[in-house]
Amino acid sequence: MQVPLLDLKAQYATIRQEIEGPVLELIASQKFILGKVVEDFEADAARYCAVPHALGVSSGTDALLLALMALDIRPGDEVITSSYSFFATAGCIHRVGARPIFVDIDPATYNLEPAGVRSAITARTRALIPVHLFGQCASMQHLLEISEARGIPIVEDAAQAIGAEYCGRRAGGMGRIGCFSFFPSKNLGAFGDAGMVTTNDPALADRMKILRAHGAQPKYYHRVVGGNFRLDALQALVLHIKLRHLDDWTSGRQRVAGRYGELFRRSGLVGCGHVRLPEAREGRHIFNQFILRVQRRDALKSHLTAQGIGTEIYYPVPLHLQECFRYLGYAEGAFPESEAAARETLAIPTYAELTVEQQEHVVDAIRKFYASGSPTP
Ligand SMILES: Cc1ncc(COP(=O)(O)O)c(C=O)c1O
């Protein structure tokens, strides 16, 4: 039995008929850049995220870059973020000329540890970027308190967390700006690269709209320098149709997560410490990934690959140890929880279409690996 990490073809089969007609109509219209199709998607996406303003952009990476540009983050500034995230979170801080300041994670949730944030703040701190990793919100209450007390804006990296909630509030609506990715593997995935920024602040929304198209206002007149961060109409159309299914797909992922919990507990793998399950804390976890913490991770990954089971390591190198950030001067051991997570975590298949039989196969393959007692490398 094959169990891919993600099966987008299975998802597409369920919506193909809804999508093909409108896509062909859009092609016939030859109107590909921004316009009504993008605006219609933005209106519904804003409603979904419970914010007044949402702007479609070219990717999650560009959403972060645009957010930092809109907040006027520049050389000499410091931006605090997690040392355990996808590269783009820190890459964008560097790209605007600011200095990424890393903080370790809470090992139970993989999200930014608020106490570490407090002690990392200096007179040069200009923004905080918590990441809602794997689909679960960071400890926003503490971070919002810090943000308010110190007057430092929060940019939520909600790339993996559309529809996630913390104390009843949706990801992307708690900080000054929310940044989303619609990379195909996300709960809401485009047919290519796409992203979105959200905000409650109308002035910031206007500024981001101008920066999204090279800073032009009106067209061909530039008071500020922006970029080409526009969302394609084709992607907006696909995303708009898929948005109607998002809650069902997310419920499916939550069901899969619950079932994994039962299967792992029944397998005996959890009690003996071979496997630790993800911990859902406050709020709505959308399970963009289902992350195990395991013993002998790399050997287990090879074993599962041989059994036709897809897995992935998110992420093998924490941000503070990336070669390109050597100039920041962080040494190994600086952030032990991020480093442990990079050594021990493994993402296993998670998507709404995953069958009970496939999940049983995954858990059984993991059980057999530990039962065989293959030697510690
Ligand atoms: C946490 C996080 N931030 C930012 C991004 C960047 O998004 P994109 O790939 O759409 O540029 C991603 C995408 O994987 C992500 O997971």
Nearest-CA residue for ligand 1 atom 12 is 159
**Is residue 92 a contact partner of residue 68, using CB atoms and an 8 Å limit?**
yes
Does residue 270 share a domain with residue 161? no
Looking at the fold, whether 135 and 74 belong to one and the same domain comes out as yes
pLDDT attached to residue 302: 98
Cα 348 to middle of ligand 1, angstroms: 19
Q: Categorize the per-residue pLDDT at 374 as very low, low, confident or very high, splitting at 50, 70 and 90.
A: low
334 found inside a domain: yes
pLDDT, tens digit, for every residue of 272-316?
Answer: 889 999 998 879 999 999 999 999 999 999 999 999 999 999 999
Residue 169 pLDDT > 50, yes or no? yes
- The whole domain housing 128 covers 8-103+111-243
Q: Are residues 193 and 270 in the same domain?
A: no
| Structure confidence by residue, pLDDT tens digits, 94-133 | 999 999 999 999 999 999 999 999 999 999 999 999 999 9
Q: Can you give the CATH number for the domain in which 167 is found?
A: 3.40.640.10
| Residue to probe by mutation, ligand 1, list 160, 286, 291, 314, most atoms within 8 Å of CB | 160
Residues 250 and 238 in one domain: no
**Cβ atoms within 10 Å, residue 342:** 20
| Residue 377 domain flag | no
Identity at 193, one-letter amino acid code: D
User: Which residues approach ligand 1 with their CB closer than 6 A?
Assistant: 59-61, 85-86, 88-89, 131, 157, 159-160, 181, 183, 193, 195
d(CA 57, CA 160): 16
Rounded CA-CA distance 143/68 in Å is: 18
Q: Which atom of ligand 1 is nearest to the CA of 88?
A: 4
Please count the CA atoms within 13 angstroms of the CA of 204 that sit on its side-chain side: 22
pTM, rounded to two decimals: 0.97
> Over the stretch 224-259, which tens digit does the pLDDT of each residue have?
999 999 999 999 999 999 999 999 999 999 999 999
At which of 206, 223, 243 does a domain end? 243
Work out the widest C-alpha separation in the chain, in whole angstroms: 68
* Nearest CA residue ID for atom 14, ligand 1: 86
Count structural domains, the chain.
2
Ligand 1 center to 182 CA (angstroms): 8
d(CA 41, CA 61): 19
- How remote is the C-alpha of 199 from its chain's centroid? 17
Residue 78, SS3 per DSSP: strand
CA distances from 232 to 34, 73, 358, 367 (A): 6, 27, 36, 45
Task: Identify the pLDDT of residue 280.
Answer: 85
Say which CATH number the domain at 360 has. Answer: 3.90.1150.10
Domain shared by 256 and 201, yes or no: no
Identify each DSSP E strand in 114-244 by its residue range: 125-129, 155-157, 165-166, 169-170, 177-181, 195-199
What average pLDDT does this structure show over 75-89? 98
**pLDDT, position 80:** 98
